[in-house]
Structure 1
């Protein structure tokens, strides 16, 4: 079934339900059927994967921050800063 046929079938079903239950446009509007959907919930902040003693953090995504690069270049293991 194509998207156009599915849409037409859905419209016919809605029309049948409206007729079967004697619904009016005003009743559907009052019930909020045409209200816009609520905005999506904000995304949670990224989990902290690495943290130093000063409280600087990195979630492990994107380029490594300068504080961690300096530590690694000085011979420290990245795993030393793993949070958790």
Structure 2
């Protein structure tokens, strides 16, 4: 990136940070508290499989993409935990698919 584009991008980012009330210290604090390690991922499947986005694309993601699903569907928001929500977070009392084939999982 040339110097002029870089300076323009910095000015734009500073302006947007001001619009949202984000200080450089807020940004630095966020970046230093981001979790690091093998449990972080950039993509997560419904089954809880994760992928960092580096290296070979995992089979579960290859299959989903070849079936027509967008890779963006699996992308985690920045800073989101790679671990899926626990099953106890779901409220199944009014599940319209209860008892149907859609309610059955192939990996139970």
Normalised to the residue count of structure 1, the TM-score between the two structures is 0.46
Higher relative CO (CA 8 A, sep ≥ 6), structure 1 or 2?
A: 2
Larger of the two Rg values belongs to structure: 1
